[in-house]
């Protein structure tokens, strides 16, 4: 825990108290000592927060192509700690995690909505996607995964060319 020393004069000061136990009540009192003795401030009571896993949801999977899709998620609660990573992960078996996924995205930090570009997929394949969020307590996943199937590839390859020669139009 912190202790401020050697502050002199009529000075405002602040103190960062560290190494506290989560979910514990602490009582704090400022004091000052001079030649006449020690004077104490008002006792303040603080209870540290309990850190839990964040809450994250997967809102939708949109715009599937033969090799990509877009995932939309939302971190609605931090778990009382900073969310340091968020995104989506996917696999072909269901209930993907960062340990069993074929791929994942990292789409920022903190709470709020995010959009993930899911790429490098195979055509005509069913994938399952879940959102995730990480804080100091660990990784949380959206409750349910969303399945979708990528589109079939173009019959003529990856691109198609159409040539049109303009001519007379019948009236």
Tokens for 74?
Answer: 């939302």
Encode pLDDT of 135-170 as tens digits: 999 999 999 999 999 999 875 445 555 555 665 655
Mean model confidence pLDDT for the chain: 88
Q: How far apart are CA 114 and CA 136, in angstroms?
A: 20
Inside any domain, residue 158:
no
Same domain membership, residue 141 and residue 62: yes
* Residues 102, 73 share a domain: yes
Does any domain span residue 114?
yes
pLDDT in the model for residue 156: 44
**Spatial separation of the C-alpha atoms in residues 88 and 118, rounded to whole Å:** 8
HSE at residue 156, side-chain half, CA atoms within 13 A, is: 4
Query: Which DSSP letter does residue 7 get?
Result: -
CATH for 105: 2.60.40.10
Cα angle: 160, vertex 161, 164; to 5 degrees = 145
Based on the fold, state whether residues 142 and 59 are members of the same structural domain: yes
Domain count for the chain, please give it: 2
| Tokens 């989506």 -> residue | 88
Domain range for residue 39?
1-50
Residue 170, sorted as left (phi over 0), alpha (psi -120 to 50) or beta, turns out to be beta
Say yes or no: 88 and 133 in one domain: yes
156 domain-assigned: no
Q: Write down the pLDDT at residue 8.
A: 62
Q: Which residues of the chain, if any, have pLDDT below 50? A: 156-157
Please give the full DSSP string across 54-94, using - where no structure is assigned. -EEEEEEEE---SSEEEEEEEEEE--SS---EEEEEEESSS
Whole-number Å distance between alpha carbons of 95 and 131: 10
């Amino acid at each position: 825990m912190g202790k401020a020393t050697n502050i002199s004069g009529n000075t405002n000061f602040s103190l960062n108290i560290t190494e506290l136990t989560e979910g514990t009540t602490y009582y704090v009192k400022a004091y000052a000592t001079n030649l006449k003795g020690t004077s104490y401030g008002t006792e303040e009571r603080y209870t540290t927060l309990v850190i839990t896993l964040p809450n994250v949801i997967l809102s939708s999977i949109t715009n599937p192509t033969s090799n990509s899709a877009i995932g939309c998620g939302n971190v609605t609660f931090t778990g009382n700690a900073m969310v340091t990573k968020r995104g989506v992960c996917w696999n072909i078996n269901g209930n993907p995690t960062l340990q069993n996924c074929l791929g994942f995205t990292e789409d920022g930090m903190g709470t709020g909505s995010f959009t993930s570009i899911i790429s490098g997929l195979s055509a005509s394949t069913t994938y399952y996607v879940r959102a995730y969020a990480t804080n100091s307590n660990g990784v949380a996943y959206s409750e349910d995964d969303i399945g979708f199937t990528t589109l079939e590839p173009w019959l003529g390859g990856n691109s198609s060319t159409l040539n049109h020669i303009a001519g007379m139009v019948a009236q």
